[in-house]
Structure 1
Amino acid sequence: MKHRARLLMSSLAAALALVIAPAVSAQQVEGIVALVNDQPITTVDVRNRMRMIIASSGQQPSPEAIERIQEQAVRGLIDETLQLQAAAEFDVDVDAAEVDQAIDDIAERNGTTRAQIQQELAAAGVDISTLRRQLEAEIAWQIIVSGRYGSRIRVSNQQIEAALERIAASASQPQYYIAEIFLELTSAGGEERLQQQATAALNALREGAPFQVVAQQFSAAPSAANGGEVGWVLGGQLRPEVEQVAQVLQPGQLSRPIRVPGGYMIIAMIQKREGTTTVQYDLTQVTVPTSAVTDTTADEMRRALEQASCENVDSAISGVPGAFATPLGEIPASSLLPNIRDALTGLDTGDHTQVLETAAGRQAFLVCERSIGGPGMPTRDDVEEQLRGQQLSNQSRRWLRDLRREATIEYR
């Protein structure tokens, strides 16, 4: 990294003083805090960003909190500058209408309007251009990350199947409607500093700061764009360390900062419900009607079934007098007769039942597919989209780390 890092805290003393006392003129405090590839970040930029963070939290910060907010503001401005520089290299421009729409989306999630947001920022001494620049960088970055990596991301059928099996296995476990804040660990701050930031974020939330606003300002997760809201998740979709905490949280409660790979996570439990498991089969039925049953029918069926699959069943049973196959399609286990349901217990895809004596004659059932589900189970498309999103998010973080490492960043 080509950082010439000479971060002198005193260089921002004037800006810090003006976080609480915005009446001092800009001319008195104008200065350069950092150069990012020769592009300046000024004390005015930092001051406005700090005020916006403080206004968003709704809390009066302590001196220690102001120092952390300063670091967050400077780091955020550096990242946004790098993102906008990268967007310029790809000739990506974000027009005013796109930024307006992003502000409208924020307003809708928070039950307010764009005009009210502008008024609230102005009351805190923050020009609306501060928020617009932040959103412009977010939008531009999403566009170029998607353009650069979107076509390269491949989610295999094996990955989808593995995820579905893991989720299905946990379908009977509690299900959670959560929101999240992910604070990313970087080389700039270190573990101890990030832990302090996570604790400060949690304290702000406990003191009444809106979760959505804190997530939008601080979270590095893709869900930050939605105020941290993740929605319903099954136990199998959460990391084990997060699942362990979620199990004991009640609706309305916040978690402690949870150490996860790459940083710390705070979750808010919005709703919680017990899971219920449903089993569904895709079956093919093999029948020898009563009129064709002989003393050897059961043995003949058993031998034929050993060679049968859902694809070749007609040819496999062709030597059994009177036998015919009927695809039944997808059937919930609860809709089957008890004796058939019992015969299917423990069987998996590709298996078959023993030969059963029924009112229709002699019957057996081939399991073409068996699936486990329940309320809230994601579809295959949902899982694929989630896996793609995770990969794209990982690529985004790696690229931004590369940009930081390769940039010339000089602190004044």
Structure 2
Amino acid sequence: MAAAMMAMLMAGATPLVMSAVQAQAQDQADVPDNDPLNLPENIALLGHNDPSVRKATAIVNGTIITDTDVDQRLGLVLAASPQTISTEERQRLRLQVLSNLIDEALEIQEAAANKITIDKAEIEQTYRRVGGQFKKSPADFGVFLKEKGSSEASMKRQIEGEVAWRRLLGRQVEPFVSVSDEEVKQVIDRLKNSKGAAEYHVGEIYLQAPIGTEAQVRANADRIVQQIRQGGSFVAYAHEYSEASTKAVGGDLGWVRAEQLPDSLAAAVEQMPTSSVSDPIGVPGGISIIALIDKRQVLTVDPRDTVLALKQVSIHVDPNASKEQAQPKVTAFGDALKQLKGCGDVAALAAKVGGEVIDNDNLRVRELPPQLQEVMLNLRVGEATPPFGSSQDGIIRALVVCGRDEPQDATLPTFEQVQSQMEEQRVNLRARRYLRDLRRDAVIDYR
């Protein structure tokens, strides 16, 4: 969800901590050596203190956000970070998550005020789809979330917030956004004139930075970049932190040319290598983090758009074995691949080496890891890659090409495609303003 009010929360954290320390010191100084309460040694509790009772962390226009809510949503964030999070970083993330939950509550409330309700069946359907992306049944996905310190309820609440907000924008914002035919024609003309120029597939995480909070927001952006570069999921962080409407699709801006981006972002993306993440970049009203997913040339055929039908063969090795111990099995796998007689022979090969086979009949070369793309372009149908992977991961793989469809001549995007992208950009801008106004008018009681 959006990264609202984070800077203000962080700005207030230091004096709050200082006040707590000072109060504790004062309490200790005021306690005399004797016991002023004169408590008996043997006491019996006459009431029950239930630790399962959830205490409020914030009340947003009457909606209660508890510590449990924050902890469970934090579990989703930590699941996207393979590295260990320090205690200090965890506390910063809690503040961010609380801010996100406040925005989520505001979005759901505003949707309800406009008589928009999200059917439970729709939430359940989306939940099943998300679980399917993890190759888990709904029941197994619930267990997975619990293992990560989260819950099914927390995931469904996030789904409800995102769906409600998109539907609200569809009713309250999108009807009032228009792009003229002349504007679309101008963009198409520029595309025609820029044939062969670079085009970029970009992801963005946008953080608002109200006046006076720029330093705190930039510090938070620095931490996000560090987490992603250490293996965190850009898509997951965009879902959780970005204040752009594209957060619902993991921050994906699609394919854009440099001139379609703000100058500061255009300058960065033109210098970035593919599959990299930028340092935080100042833009009007906030900070952006850019991921360069891929790049190509406008209206030019790219061999990496070749669509492949593949079979993946994988074998398991002991992840605790040394390289020398695992090498004989890897060598035998490689030798068997060299003797492969087409895709019809894959099942027999897998049985021989004790491997598993997975089919994928619609994969573009550009969707493969960069290290494999050049290899795949040079393989003929029926040929396999050398084994790849790491014995430390416990899995060694190879890909067999079973079919290929060469890319067709590149064509201009349609009038409707250009118009839709321009409208999305304008809806995104108005959505930021909408949420800003909701925050400004909200009654929030922090506990």
Superposition TM-score tier, normalisation by shorter sequence? 0.5 to 0.7
Please name the residue that 1:127 is paired with. Answer: 151
Distance 1:185 1:26, change over 3 A: farther
Please name the residue that 1:204 is paired with. Answer: 227
Please name the residue that 2:94 is paired with. Answer: 70
Q: Which amino acid aligns with 1:214?
A: Y
Partners of 1:9 and 1:99 lie apart in 2 by: 38
Question: Does the 8 A contact of 1:167 with 1:236 survive in 2?
Answer: no
**Shift of residue 68, structure 1, vs aligned partner:** 2.2
After alignment, is 396-405 or 268-277 more displaced? 268-277
Q: Which amino acid aligns with 1:232?
A: W
**Shift of residue 224, structure 1, vs aligned partner:** 2.2
- Which of 254, 263, 268 aligns to 1:231? It is 254
Distance 1:273 1:393, change over 3 A: closer
Distance 1:105 1:243, change over 3 A: farther
**Shift of residue 277, structure 1, vs aligned partner:** 7.5
Question: Does the 8 A contact of 1:26 with 1:44 survive in 2?
Answer: no
Q: Which amino acid aligns with 2:257?
A: L
Please name the residue that 2:415 is paired with. Answer: 380
Question: Does the 8 A contact of 2:245 with 2:431 survive in 1?
Answer: no
Q: Which amino acid aligns with 2:196?
A: S
Question: Does the 8 A contact of 2:221 with 2:280 survive in 1?
Answer: yes
Distance 1:161 1:75, change over 3 A: same
Partners of 1:218 and 1:38 lie apart in 2 by: 24
- Which of 133, 138, 141 aligns to 2:162? It is 138
Per-residue CA deviations over 1:213-250 (Å, capped at 9, x if unaligned) read 12222222233222233332223322222221111222
Query: What TM-score do the two structures reach when normalised by structure 2?
Result: 0.60
- Which of 146, 159, 166 aligns to 2:183? It is 159
**Shift of residue 276, structure 1, vs aligned partner:** 5.8
Are 1:84 and 2:119 counterparts?
Answer: no
Query: What TM-score do the two structures reach when normalised by structure 1?
Result: 0.65
What is the total number of aligned residue pairs between the two structures?
301
Partners of 1:46 and 1:122 lie apart in 2 by: 14
Please name the residue that 1:54 is paired with. Answer: 78
User: Following superposition of structure 1 onto structure 2, how do residues 384-403 of structure 1 map, counting pairs within 5 Å?
Assistant: 384-403=419-438
Partners of 1:121 and 1:26 lie apart in 2 by: 25
Unaligned runs of 5+ in 1: 14-24, 279-373
User: Following superposition of structure 1 onto structure 2, how do residues 13-412 of structure 1 map, counting pairs within 5 Å?
Assistant: 27=51, 30-107=54-131, 114-186=138-210, 190-275=213-298, 375=410, 377-412=412-447
Distance 1:110 1:395, change over 3 A: farther
Partners of 1:67 and 1:113 lie apart in 2 by: 32
Per-residue CA deviations over 1:315-337 (Å, capped at 9, x if unaligned) read xxxxxxxxxxxxxxxxxxxxxxx
Distance 1:75 1:376, change over 3 A: farther
Distance 1:277 1:52, change over 3 A: closer
Match of 1:208, SS?
coil
**Shift of residue 30, structure 1, vs aligned partner:** 2.7
Partners of 1:55 and 1:127 lie apart in 2 by: 12
Partners of 2:265 and 2:411 lie apart in 1 by: 19
Q: Which amino acid aligns with 2:278?
A: S
Match of 1:267, SS?
strand
Question: Does the 8 A contact of 1:235 with 1:243 survive in 2?
Answer: yes
Match of 1:57, SS?
coil
Partners of 1:175 and 1:397 lie apart in 2 by: 26
Q: Which amino acid aligns with 1:134?
A: Q
Distance 1:26 1:225, change over 3 A: farther
Question: Does the 8 A contact of 1:169 with 1:236 survive in 2?
Answer: no
Please name the residue that 2:41 is paired with. Answer: none
Bigger Cα Rg: 1
| Same amino acid, percent of matched pairs | 31
Q: Which amino acid aligns with 2:416?
A: D
Question: Does the 8 A contact of 2:100 with 2:240 survive in 1?
Answer: no
Distance 1:32 1:211, change over 3 A: same
Partners of 1:76 and 1:396 lie apart in 2 by: 15
Partners of 1:74 and 1:242 lie apart in 2 by: 29
Q: Which amino acid aligns with 2:284?
A: P
The one of the two structures with greater contact order (alpha-carbon pairs below 8 A, sep at least 6) is 1
**Shift of residue 204, structure 1, vs aligned partner:** 0.8
Partners of 1:113 and 1:9 lie apart in 2 by: 44
Unaligned runs of 5+ in 2: 1-8, 21-48, 302-408
Partners of 1:252 and 1:411 lie apart in 2 by: 40
Distance 1:170 1:242, change over 3 A: farther
Question: Does the 8 A contact of 1:31 with 1:42 survive in 2?
Answer: yes
